[in-house]
Amino acid sequence: MRKLISITQITLDGVMQSPGGPDEDPRNGFSHGGWAMSFFDDAANQVIGETIAGEFDMLLGRRTYEIFASYWPYQGDDPIAKAFNKAEKYVVTRSLSQLDWENSHKIGGDVVDEIRQLKASDGPVLHIWGSGELLQTLIANNLVDEYHLWVFPIILGEGKRLFENGLPPRSLSLVATRSTPRGVLLNTYQPAGPLL
């Protein structure tokens, strides 16, 4: 069984929308895009390096795929670009008929069933970066095996959240934690079943 790991940059109030750039995801008038970038230092970059060091495939929602596909293939020898470009990418979409980023594969039918099959197949760990809407489905169906939450010391008060209203109550176990000099908490959680 392949492990599915959610890698998510979030604010203290749980917002995950548009951490990387001002125009990354302005849906619903969100104007705080790029909120994570000023916190990246050598320690945070080291964590990213550790995260992408091994073999992994990627599971992405359509919006995140389009954002990544418009950027990472054109970043030359950047270590993140090299790792992302090499990875097999499984993209949940009903609207894209063609996936131009190399090593990309469409998931367009019964998403939950297809992802269960993907997890049961041979291959490396699956990373899901961003992909907030897809994550709601995965969380609701107990398909996430581990959460890597990079918690940034800011509050935005609006935006798409990782754990939206309507998700079933769950317990999580903290299995690792550390922090960066800029105050980013790097927490790893695993599902621990329903609330007691």
Non-local (6+) Cβ contacts of 143 within 8 A are: 4, 112, 115, 116, 119
pLDDT digits (tens, 9 = 90+) for 106-124: 998 899 999 999 999 999 9
d(C-alpha 1, C-alpha 124), whole Å: 9
- pTM (two decimals): 0.94
What pLDDT is attached to residue 14? 95
* pLDDT tier at 17, thresholds 50, 70, 90: very high
CA separation for the pair 41, 47 (Å, rounded): 10
Strands (DSSP E) contained in 40-112 are 56-61, 89-92, 104-107
Confidence band, pLDDT 50/70/90 cuts, at residue 196: low
Q: Where are the beta strands (DSSP E) in 38-135?
A: 56-61, 89-92, 104-107, 125-129
